[in-house]
Amino acid sequence: MKNITSAFLAALTGARDTGLVPRRFVWITGKSFDTGDVASIGLWTGDDDIDISVISGITGVSEGRTYYGGLNLQLSPIARTADLTVQTVTITIGQIAPVAQQLLRGYDLRLAPVEIHDMTFDPVTRQPSSAPEISFLGIADGAPIKTPVVGQDGDIEISAISAAIAMLERNNPAKSSYEGQKRRSGDEFGLYSSTVANWQIPWGQKA
């Protein structure tokens, strides 16, 4: 079960009577092609740029971040499951905005950490009803550049998969490789790993 703040819960439970203005925030951390340094860009579903404090999904510490708006940002639904299914979220933004071009063409997004936060605005005061809540923590799994034909609109689709579950499915051949293990003080645990599957063990009788 996801833990949320009392202010965020109150905004959700009171939505039937007072209304609700939901907003979503996306934070992507890649590497600059020019310098190789780590760099982040924030996007959100609002119309204007915004400076706001959020709880980092990686460090758990409050950070002041800038999120760019007016990008026609759309996100696919985030499924809430209790199993180990790898969830995929599709992040779609328009190609025209300079920040979109910088993100896709200026940064290396391979396995880039992706954070998605949810927040609501009070429909009367237009002020945040609570601090943004982390709703998804993952890594970029693909960001193909699609150039539209003349007269058509183009957009950018970034696929992100849930980080924790994806790590459980990664293969590490060094764990079962004799060549990889023997580097550590002559570890020969995997010496016969390539042939042991073919051994015939005569249980209960003489060989």
Q: Tens digits of per-residue pLDDT, 53-70? A: 998 988 889 899 999 999
Check whether residue 179 and residue 150 sit in a common domain: no
The one-character DSSP state at 128 is B
> What helix, strand, coil percent values describe the chain, rounded to 5?
20, 35, 50
Under 8 Å CB-to-CB from 74, ≥6 apart: which residues?
45, 91, 92, 93
pLDDT tens for the chain, residues 1 to 207: 566 777 777 777 777 777 778 899 999 999 999 999 999 999 999 999 999 999 898 888 989 999 999 999 999 998 877 777 788 999 999 888 899 999 989 999 988 999 999 988 877 777 787 788 899 999 998 887 777 777 777 788 999 998 877 777 777 665 567 777 777 777 777 777 778 778 887 777 665
Tokens (6 digits) for 55: 């709880």
**Residue 9: predicted pLDDT:** 76
Looking at residue 50, its pLDDT comes to 93
Q: Is 83 within a domain?
A: yes
Residue 62 falls within a domain, yes or no?
yes
Residue 113's Cβ-count burial label (10 Å; 0-12, 13-18, 19+) is: buried
Note whether 193 and 118 are same-domain residues: no
pLDDT value of residue 2: 64
Assess if residue 21 is contained within a domain: yes
| Domain co-membership, 147 together with 130 | yes
Contacts of 32 (CB under 8 A, 6+ apart): 38, 39, 106, 107, 108
Query: pLDDT at position 66, please?
Result: 96
Encoding tokens for residue 14?
Answer: 């009171």
**Residue 127's CB: how many other CB atoms inside 10 A?**
7
CB 93 within 8 A of CB 1: no
DSSP codes of every residue in 54-116: EE-TTT--EEEEEEE--S--EE------SS----EEEEEEESSSHHHHHHHHHEE-TT-EEEE
Give the span between the Cα atoms of 68 and 58, in whole angstroms: 21
99 and 177 co-located in one domain: no
Same domain for 115 and 25, yes or no, is: yes
User: Does residue 55 belong to any structural domain of this protein?
Assistant: yes
C-alpha 103/C-alpha 109 separation (Å) is 8
> In sequence order, what are the residues at sequence separation of 6 or more whose Cβ sits closer than 8 angstroms to the Cβ of residue 48?
69, 70
Tell me the pTM: 0.75
What does each C-alpha distance from 202 to 175, 192, 196, 199 come to in angstroms?
Answer: 29, 18, 14, 10
Please tell me whether residues 49 and 91 are part of one structural domain. yes
Q: Residue 207: its pLDDT value, please?
A: 57
125 and 38 within one domain: yes
- The verdict on residue 1 lying in a domain is no
Say how many domains are in the chain: 2
Residue 85 lies in a domain: yes
Domain hosting 187: range is 173-207
